[in-house]
Copies of this chain bind each other. A is one copy, B any other.
Amino acid sequence: MPAFPAVPATPALLVDRDVLDRNIARMADAARTRGVSLRPHAKTHKCVEIARRQIAAGAVGLTVATVSEAEVFADAGFRDLFVAYPLWTDAARGARLRALAAEVRLTVGVDSVEGARALAEHARPGLTVLVEVDSGHHRTGVAPERTGSVAVAAASVGLEVRGVFTFPGHSYGPGQPAVAATDEAAALSRAVAALEATGHDADVISGGSTPTAHLDVPAATELRPGVYVFGDAQQLELGTIDEDAIALTALATVVSARDDTVVLDAGSKVLGADRAPWATGYGRILGAPDARIVALSEHHATVQWPADADRPTLGTRIRVIPNHVCSAVNLADDLTVVAGDTVVDRWPVAARGCNT
């Protein structure tokens, strides 16, 4: 395993540029083949250089989760942004949304009558919204049949309702992607019918997650996957990608060892503490599929090394695949870009910590 001597200190997040570019091209091709627009979620990478590559490959715009993420990408010159979140708008957030809408083609999510009213009151009438639909994740969004009543309320306060969106987050489980994609298609179809019954066209029918992005969702006109640019251990363990699609790893050093375990200097403050109930551990080791990260603290990952493999010695540099790459990236100030074993660039995580 290459030690990346040009990286002055571990832990550090490495991005393999060639794998990244291949992931971006593949998703863009898949969207084109299916005839849907691709609007990647920038919360995964928070990185201007990566967003530029996505747009260059054909993405129609970016998805973001927060107004402050939208502000970062607007400042960097991106001109079509969708805040896929049911924002609560007060006077301060309203002023920020007005400033954004003056600069970019802005769309925001809404999932309640009250949320639509607050948006129109504090941001401005005329703002474009999509109604969020719950397709089975049961987080935010309204039941498909309620889409119409939210749309009517939004239109009555002067918002421009352009369609619906959903996030089939229940796709994140073994055997779940196909189920979630079926749910998503059904929910979007019913939501569109409810919207049209109130006299609104659904120009945008937006869905998608990385686990379901390769599945057909006939109702959708737009896909919003995020994780696909980097991949992560969750996607590996869900079986949606192979290790050759892993573009981001945390370079870590073995600092301690005993028996069949080693301790790495990348802990939850580098990898994130995310661990789904079905995960095999707190991430995976690149090139050592049978190693297991059995414990994680802030600056320690305890790795059980397989008995039939040589345990790495102290000082060895190891690449860790985070469970949830969005969390890992949001902990880093910059990404070290490599091509093969060579460091070729450093990209700032421009929207790191942009939660408001």
Query: Taking beta carbons and an 8 Å cutoff, which residues of A are in contact with B?
Result: 8-12, 43, 65-66, 68, 85-88, 90, 92-93, 111-112, 114-115, 118, 139-141, 169, 253-257, 263, 265-266, 268-270, 272-275, 295, 297-300, 302, 313-315, 324, 326-327, 330-333, 353, 355-356
Given the interface pairs A299-B65, A331-B353, the reply to whether A115 lies near B8 with Cβ below 8 Å is: no
A-B contact pairs, 29 of them (CB 8 A): A9-B92, A11-B355, A65-B299, A66-B299, A85-B299, A86-B256, A87-B255, A88-B253, A88-B255, A88-B265, A111-B256, A114-B313, A115-B256, A118-B315, A140-B300, A169-B297, A266-B355, A268-B272, A269-B327, A269-B353, A270-B355, A272-B273, A273-B273, A273-B324, A273-B327, A298-B326, A330-B331, A331-B331, A331-B353
B268 contacts A274, C-beta separation under 8 Å: yes
B297 contacts A114, C-beta separation under 8 Å: no
Closest to A132 in B: B256
- CA of A146 to CA of B302 in the docked complex: distance in angstroms? 20
- CA of A98 to CA of B299 in the docked complex: distance in angstroms? 22
Kindly list chain B residues whose C-beta atoms are within 8 Å of the C-beta of A274.
Answer: 268, 273
Given the interface pairs A112-B256, A139-B263, A299-B355, the reply to whether A90 lies near B11 with Cβ below 8 Å is: no
Kindly list chain B residues whose C-beta atoms are within 8 Å of the C-beta of A92.
Answer: 8-9
How far in angstroms is the closest Cβ of chain B from A333? 6
B333 contacts A353, C-beta separation under 8 Å: yes
How far in angstroms is the closest Cβ of chain B from A253? 5
- CA of A333 to CA of B282 in the docked complex: distance in angstroms? 25
Total copies of the chain: 2
Interface centre among A12, A85, A139, A326 (most CB of B within 10 A): A139
B255 contacts A86, C-beta separation under 8 Å: yes
Kindly list chain B residues whose C-beta atoms are within 8 Å of the C-beta of A268.
Answer: 272, 274, 327
- CA of A87 to CA of B11 in the docked complex: distance in angstroms? 12
Kindly list chain B residues whose C-beta atoms are within 8 Å of the C-beta of A315.
Answer: 88, 90, 114, 118
B115 contacts A255, C-beta separation under 8 Å: yes
Kindly list chain B residues whose C-beta atoms are within 8 Å of the C-beta of A86.
Answer: 255-256
Interface centre among A86, A256, A295 (most CB of B within 10 A): A256
- CA of A86 to CA of B330 in the docked complex: distance in angstroms? 26
Closest to A8 in B: B92
- CA of A275 to CA of B139 in the docked complex: distance in angstroms? 19
Given the interface pairs A263-B139, A315-B88, the reply to whether A10 lies near B356 with Cβ below 8 Å is: yes
How far in angstroms is the closest Cβ of chain B from A319? 16
Closest to A300 in B: B139
Q: 12 more A-B contacts (CB under 8 A) besides A66-B299, A85-B299? A: A8-B92, A9-B68, A9-B92, A11-B355, A88-B254, A88-B315, A114-B315, A115-B314, A140-B255, A169-B297, A269-B327, A331-B353
B298 contacts A327, C-beta separation under 8 Å: yes
Closest to A298 in B: B326
